[in-house]
Amino acid sequence: MDAPRTLRNCQLLVDGQWLNGDAEIPVLNKYTQAACASYQMPTQAQVNAAVATARAAFQGQTLTPYDRGLILDRSAAILQRRTEDLIQALIEEVGFTRSDAQGEISRCIQTFRLSAEEARNLTGEMVPIAGAPAQAGRLGFTLRVPLGVVCAITPFNAPLNTVAHKVAPGLAAGNAVVLKPSAHTPTAAVIMAEALVEAGLPSGLMSVLHGGAEVAQWLLDNQDIQFYAFTGSTEVGRQIQQRAGLRRTQMELGSIAFTILAEDADLDRALPKVINAAYRKAGQVCTSVQLLLVHRSIQRQVEERLAATVGSLRFGDPAHKDTIVGPVISEGAAERIDAWIQEAVSRGARQLAGGRRQGAVVPPTLLADLSPDMRLSCQEVFGPVMSIEPFDTLDGAIARVNATPFGLATGLFTNRIDQALDAARRLQVGGVHINETSSSRVDVMPYGGSKASGFGREGPHYAIREMSEERMVTVVA
């Protein structure tokens, strides 16, 4: 008989030391609902100590841009070495399939490497000040300087790569970072912090504080934090923005993501991408295809092909090698998603694929004939549910996307370059992906939304500029 497995205790990282907090809180396996780890809940004094040591470490640091790049590159190599530890944590704590976990890890490593390169290349620019009247002999240039203490508040649905997109650029810019990961999924963030410590990051430049809303409030109350990077709901983002006041923020918030299939779309190319974008990570991605806008002339063909494929997707235990769709983050979330589906069906929507929830697992679901006032039409479902909606003209499809309060990303499949570029100019979203889905993201690109989907941009090159500022320098010869 195998010995019982020791559950990981995710401690707090404060001033280079791993500490216990005021209480130990269990973390559940999202499929079995059994405890798979625990995290330490900090006291308010520990939160304030973490920020104070971060500020002191920032003020006293001597790392050069080369040093920062080297530490981030070393960290990437350590994370690569710890792939199996991370896969296990992501399967248990998030409900990822092995494929989703591997994708999350490889992207995190790429984000660290991109940030390392940006750290080495970070610079200001020359300002042609001598071109102004009476400025002969005077030079002008800018420096890029860090802000100080950056606070990263991160979500459960990408507990490694979304964390990397805040932590790695924050450090690359020369800041100290205080991280509050999701209480649902703490282990991946702890492994990332362990990698940074092992790679030689000086004490205090990285802190980890677990917990929920109360800990976030303590962090927002601390005036020694200069910048907040947040990914989460629009409602919480609005509260953080109000509390931050004049301090800077970057907000990646909610969305209802659309992908458009024009009448000339190559369905053999488009539909596999649409299915992956709708159901990977159990649909818990801000850019997951929630509404598929399909030209009426191809609607029947799209419905038939998607219904057959979605209905055959294996769902259930994420540890099984053939599973495509695992559980959502909690049974409560699954209950909400199931209720939205049943509401739509009871009011006339056609269910082309899917079934009733099983614990925290929602079968991959495909619907059609939604009405505009159904919640699946006008609120973010954040689950493995996609609905097909017909349109007659591209103008109508664009108007449908723009009518929502959100604007994160939209995909458009078409072979007409004029139609594609027109849509790119008119869609009120942060990213338009031609012949890709709304969920198409490469970590080097600028990523962020408009309207109620937030502001500021992730992507190491762009995030580092969010987390630093220009300082003007002039010299009279």
The set of catalytic residues is 252, 286
Which H helix or E strand runs over 172? helix 161-172
Strand order of the β-sheet with 138-146 is 126-127, 138-146, 468-476
* Residues 326 and 95: beta-carbon distance below 8 Å: yes
Q: How far is CA 223 from CA 9, 149, 202, 320, 365, in A?
A: 30, 10, 23, 47, 46
Look up tokens 């590159």; give the residue: 73
- What does the alpha-carbon distance between residue 193 and residue 4 come to, in Å, rounded to a whole number? 27
In order, the DSSP letters of 409-437 are EEEEE-S-HHHHHHHHHH--SSEEEETS-
In order, the DSSP letters of 325-343 are B---S-HHHHHHHHHHHHH
401 φψ region: left (φ > 0), alpha (ψ -120 to 50), beta (else): alpha
Pairing state of beta strands 227-231 and 248-252? parallel
* Residues 209 and 177: beta-carbon distance below 8 Å: no
Q: Which of 83, 98, 79, 89 is nearest to 38 (CA)?
A: 89
Pairing state of beta strands 227-231 and 206-208? unpaired
Q: Which of 120, 117, 114 is nearest to 65 (CA)?
A: 120
**How many residues are present in the chain?**
477
Look up tokens 């990981």; give the residue: 8
DSSP letter, residue 136 = T
Q: Three-state SS string across 212-227, please?
A: CHHHHHHHHHCCCCCE
- What does the alpha-carbon distance between residue 116 and residue 77 come to, in Å, rounded to a whole number? 12
* Residues 337 and 385: beta-carbon distance below 8 Å: yes
Burial 119-141 (b: 16+ CB within 10 A, else e): bbebeeeebeeeeeeeeeeeebe
